[in-house]
Structure 1
Amino acid sequence: MSRIDDLIAEHCPDGVPYRGLTDVADYVRGVTYNKSNEQADGPVSVLRANNISLATNTLNFADVKRVSGSVRVRDNQRLVHGDILICAGSGSKDHIGKVAFIFDDLEHTFGGFMGVVRAKGELEPRFLFHLLTGGSFLAYLRSALSTTTINNLNAGVMRGFRIPVPPIEVQRAIVEVLDTFSKLEAELEAELEAELEARKQQYEHYRNSLMLAGGGTHTVLLEDIATVGTGSHDTKDAQPDGDYTFYARGREPLLLNTFDFDENAIITAGDGVGVGKVFHFARGKYALHQRAYRIVPDEGVDARFIYHYFLADFARYLERTSVHASVTSLRRPMFLKYPLQLPPIEEQRRIVEILDKFDALVNDLSVGLPAELAARRQQYEYYRDKLLTFKELEVTA
């Protein structure tokens, strides 16, 4: 038996009690303020949802909001060691419920869409933190919150989450194991992420060399080898249970119950934060936003070759041709007059075969380094959730 098994057998062989979260921890919501209270050099610094790193449940101090001293901050709204900062109100299902542990007393407070969970005497703060990063809390939130409006972790929602409260000796032993495991996991992930970043840079350099070398090619304009057009839909048309992929202007595609096109095409945004970036290669039936562009190469031109060419050169083309510091929107003539170096079709296919394999190694979540990263995270999450699952103590009348 492991040390934790021994402790469970000694201190709680019949199970452990489960309590409502707010029975064993205080829950405090953050300060509220108006836009007029915001000051670039204000004396009160406020942490918000974007200050919790989604992938690692750690705290970052990028873009901390500062507000005037007229904003009232209660004593229990100061962040102290052992607090667990939680995103308590958000329209984003990715942020809601995300937590970060506070290791030191801070000068910061936290905003109204945030909360703090403070463990009471019978609960180790780090044990509670691990519980709130576990799968059971995520599953509870999915069932307790509506995704159609701004989610809100009010006291009632938090009270409904029941957690195991084993003896303090068991909690501390589990924390020791999980903290050690998560530290090793973070070190391994940092190594893999560094290798992944190096591979990405290598891939981009190799792709650019293949695409733009110019040997045995002739220069053509995009209008001579492809059809360029836009879609007809708006983001508000998206349907969460749609049957077809709906490409808008961002990195994440949406869904729609109807399709506009059935083809292979390169998709890029006409304006917005994704302007000039190529996020998608469409295959088959799809719908398209009215301010996103589709580039459909003619017969005798490999569509994947044009996709890789856009990745390598299109952003630089926009920089070369723009009279402004940045391009805020694209018009069809900017695409039509885009010059490309086009090799023979056999060479296009050879280059595509090489780059598709390299792209999969770097970016495909099912293979290569991203798959290894995902597997390590799943391994840790499985081990954590197993350690935090207990037989519930039966309460006799």
Structure 2
Amino acid sequence: MNNNAFLEKLLQGTKVEWKTLGEVCEIADNARKPVKASLRISGNIPYYGANNIQDYVEGYTHNGEYVLIAEDGSASLENYSIQWASGKFWANNHVHVIRGYEEINNRFLYHYLRQMNFIPYLTGGDRAKLTKAKMLQILLPIPPLSVQQEIVKILDTLTALTSELTSELNLRQKQYEYYRDMLLNFKELNGGGYEVKWKTLGEVCDLQAGKHIPASKISPSVDGEHIYPCYGGNGVRGYVQDFSHNGNYIFIGRQGALCGNVQRYTGKLYATEHAVVVSCSNVIHPDYMFHLLTVMDLNQYASKSAQPGLVVGKLKDLKIPIPSIEEQYRIVEILDKFDTLTNSISEGLPKEIELRNKQYEYYREMLLGFERV
């Protein structure tokens, strides 16, 4: 069923009025109040900025159900920042605070604004700003309240499914971190119950910095010639014609904000100078080493200069615990199950969340595709 047919079935011949936001919404901006981070007192009340909750404070500026629209600083102009706030909350001066009058359902307003194109209403170039005057001019469709409520019911159900999955993902992430920290805590004598040998990373692994490759030789996607993944400091950055490594490898980001980032890959690949390539000897399971390096917070060993960096020689000197290979396999089996659930692109919860988000966007477009006559 196309968009028009679906909406026509809901509307049953009723016409949809179009009104400006200023006509159908209360603007509650006067109560907003910015608070410097150094003056915020920790509490349980969410403190909203343009893009999300920035902190939790004591006291509040608003109490009720409101839609928050970024005034400036939105992370993405094409997907403009729209937030839902319920109960007591604090809003700073980078977010507009609105709610509908009787003729428009607040949640309908929220869902509609989330899919709206805000760019025609923005000023300020790169530092986009939605002024109050421009916001008041935004045109909104006003179908009958019964239709609004039906649309909200459908979209809220899909949103709830995504929220449940996201909560489950956060729980699994915490479980993974808990078991990772417990299984890889070898500070106690004999590693807390089994024999552990301590050696330097350089004794059991080979570490090499990757090599520079011109950006002109990197393709953003796979084609007939560019078939090998090109690894930088934060995973795959494109595809190249030739590979520099073939096997099981771990990559450590070595420059700037990516210092200490840990990735793993098996197969043929090219590694750039932004990554340290780690290959393990036969006494180390590569996946055990991956989980171990992840928990070690390697960024703490970076230089403290304006452009932080990790030196290969310094990484080689790090002391690491080596349990038996059988124990390494046991640890890997446990942690990889949690890692798949939390981080896999092709399976597990992230893929399910991605599918649910697409489902929500599909139905939102269908249900909110009103056309002005």
User: What's the secondary structure of 2:167's corresponding residue?
Assistant: helix
For 1:261 and 1:363, locate their aligned partners in 2 and report how far apart those are by CA, in whole Å. Answer: 26
1:86 equivalent among 49, 57, 69: 69
1:168 equivalent among 145, 149, 159: 145
Distance 1:184 1:320, change over 3 A: closer
Match of 1:149 in 2: 126
Match of 1:247 in 2: 232
1:40 equivalent among 22, 38, 41: 38
User: What's the secondary structure of 1:309's corresponding residue?
Assistant: helix
Report which of the two has the higher share of strand.
Answer: 2
2:345 equivalent among 338, 361, 365: 365
1:217-232 → structure 2 map (5 Å cutoff): 219=199, 221-222=201-202, 225-229=205-209
Distance 1:260 1:47, change over 3 A: farther
User: What's the secondary structure of 2:277's corresponding residue?
Assistant: strand
For 2:96 and 2:349, locate their aligned partners in 1 and report how far apart those are by CA, in whole Å. Answer: 36
1:120-159 → structure 2 map (5 Å cutoff): 120-133=101-114, 136-137=115-116, 140=117, 149-154=126-131
Match of 1:119 in 2: 100
User: What's the secondary structure of 1:128's corresponding residue?
Assistant: helix
User: What's the secondary structure of 2:351's corresponding residue?
Assistant: helix
1:350-389 → structure 2 map (5 Å cutoff): 359-389=339-369
Is residue 110 from structure 1 mapped to residue 79 from structure 2 by the alignment?
A: no
Query: How many corresponding residue pairs?
Result: 343
For 1:224 and 1:365, locate their aligned partners in 2 and report how far apart those are by CA, in whole Å. Answer: 30
The 8 Å contact of residues 345 and 351 in structure 2, kept in 1 or not, is answered as: yes
The 8 Å contact of residues 20 and 159 in structure 1, kept in 2 or not, is answered as: yes
1:141-220 → structure 2 map (5 Å cutoff): 149-154=126-131, 162-179=139-156, 182-183=159-160, 186-187=163-164, 189-191=166-168, 193-195=170-172, 197-198=174-175, 201-202=178-179, 219=199
**Which amino acid is the alignment partner of residue 268 of structure 1?**
I
Is residue 278 from structure 1 mapped to residue 262 from structure 2 by the alignment?
A: yes
1:266 equivalent among 247, 250, 261: 250
Provide TM-score, normalisation by structure 2: 0.62
For 1:348 and 1:267, locate their aligned partners in 2 and report how far apart those are by CA, in whole Å. Answer: 19
**Which amino acid is the alignment partner of residue 287 of structure 1?**
T
Shift of 1:100: 2.1
Distance 1:340 1:38, change over 3 A: closer
The 8 Å contact of residues 38 and 65 in structure 1, kept in 2 or not, is answered as: no
For 1:256 and 1:28, locate their aligned partners in 2 and report how far apart those are by CA, in whole Å. Answer: 47
Structure 1 residues without counterparts, runs of 5 or longer: 53-59, 67-77, 323-327
CA deviation vs aligned residue, 1:89-113 (integer Å, no higher than 9, x gap): 226339962222233465x34223x
Shift of 1:336: 1.7
Distance 1:275 1:378, change over 3 A: same
Match of 1:309 in 2: 289
CA deviation vs aligned residue, 1:24-49 (integer Å, no higher than 9, x gap): 44678799999xx8473479x97313
For 2:333 and 2:39, locate their aligned partners in 1 and report how far apart those are by CA, in whole Å. Answer: 54
The 8 Å contact of residues 88 and 96 in structure 1, kept in 2 or not, is answered as: no
CA deviation vs aligned residue, 1:338-383 (integer Å, no higher than 9, x gap): 3456799999899878866663344203212333343344444444
Distance 1:32 1:232, change over 3 A: farther
Distance 1:376 1:13, change over 3 A: same
The 8 Å contact of residues 84 and 118 in structure 1, kept in 2 or not, is answered as: yes
**Which amino acid is the alignment partner of residue 90 of structure 1?**
G
CA deviation vs aligned residue, 1:302-359 (integer Å, no higher than 9, x gap): 99x446414315654969999xxxxx86443321223456799999899878866663
Shift of 1:190: 3.1
For 2:231 and 2:130, locate their aligned partners in 1 and report how far apart those are by CA, in whole Å. Answer: 31
1:295 equivalent among 274, 277, 283: 277
Aligned identity (percent) is 24
For 1:315 and 1:187, locate their aligned partners in 2 and report how far apart those are by CA, in whole Å. Answer: 27
**Which amino acid is the alignment partner of residue 272 of structure 2?**
A
The 8 Å contact of residues 145 and 151 in structure 1, kept in 2 or not, is answered as: yes
